[in-house]
Amino acid sequence: MIEVKDLTYHYRIDQPIQFPDFSYQQGQQALILGESGCGKTTLLHLLSGLLKPKKGFVSIDGKKLNGLSGAQLDKFRGANIGIVFQTPHFIEALSVKENLQFAQTLAGNKKDTEAIKSILSDLGIGHKLNDSVKSLSQGEKQRVTIARALVNQPKLILADEPTSALDDKNCRAVVKLLKEQAKKNNATLLIVTHDNRLNDEFEQKLKLS
């Protein structure tokens, strides 16, 4: 489903970041672990095509991201990849529903309020549908971030440190939600983190150094 080979990136040419080769099948769930600064966010941006590798490739469903133009990449990402970013960012002037509808439109899909209601209800925030995102608590914002990553039923879900700011209870809840939602859609789930609390939750682990 996803394959990474010879992947190298650098922000400064004298400081290359090399990543190990790996591949995961459709529906697999894995943790990508590593200390702060080792390149986790960089890897996630490479996997989603937000950064272009200096060497090597990322291939998703047999399609090498390097070969796609900017516009093709945007479309491919919208249709196939859901990203849970480290810090939630929404269009503040819009409601939860409108933010999620916007994500559907961006991916080239029709607005589907029923699908939005269903995901929000799975995430325990169905009653927040028409609320302004500005009015949400941090934990609720985190759930809307997850909802936005899932709303287009992506084949691949990438999450960047989704639990590092959460207490133990919410940490367990967010991991459970991500795993359940990925399973429901048979999506591949990759979580990059330095949160060791997630260690026991996943059989598949990849360590970056």
Ligand X SMILES: Nc1ncnc2c1ncn2[C@@H]1O[C@H](COP(=O)(O)OP(=O)(O)OP(=O)(O)O)[C@@H](O)[C@H]1O
Per the CB < 8 A criterion, the answer to whether 155 and 61 are in contact is yes
- Give the residue with the Cβ less far from ligand X, 11 or 105: 11
Please tell me the count of residues contacting ligand X according to CB under 6 A: 11
Torsion, CA 129, CA 114, CA 126, CA 176, rounded to 10: -130
Q: Does 148 bind ligand X (CB under 6 A)?
A: no
For residue 37, the minimal CB distance to ligand X (Å) is 4
Alpha carbon distance 125, 22 (integer Å): 35
Applying the rule CB under 6 A, the residues between 21 and 80 that interact with ligand X are: 34, 36-42
For residue 183, the minimal CB distance to ligand X (Å) is 26
From the list 75, 117, 194, 197, which residue makes contact with ligand X (rule: CB under 6 A)?
Answer: 194
For residue 158, the minimal CB distance to ligand X (Å) is 13
- Give the residue with the Cβ less far from ligand X, 85 or 102: 85
Alpha carbon distance 165, 25 (integer Å): 29
Residue 33 phi, psi (nearest 5): -105, 155
Per the CB < 8 A criterion, the answer to whether 192 and 161 are in contact is yes
- Give the residue with the Cβ less far from ligand X, 47 or 133: 47
For residue 17, the minimal CB distance to ligand X (Å) is 6
- Give the residue with the Cβ less far from ligand X, 46 or 125: 46
For residue 45, the minimal CB distance to ligand X (Å) is 8
Applying the rule CB under 6 A, the residues between 86 and 105 that interact with ligand X are: none
Maximum separation of any 2 CA atoms in the chain, in Å:
51
For residue 208, the minimal CB distance to ligand X (Å) is 7
Paired strand residues for 95:
132
Q: Does 11 bind ligand X (CB under 6 A)?
A: yes
- Say which residues have a Cβ less than 8 Å from residue 10's Cβ, sequence separation at least 6: 16, 17, 54
- Give the residue with the Cβ less far from ligand X, 41 or 109: 41
How far is C-alpha 207 from the geometric centre of its chain's CA atoms? 18
Alpha carbon distance 98, 116 (integer Å): 10
Tell me which residues touch ligand X (CB under 6 A): 11, 17, 34, 36-42, 194
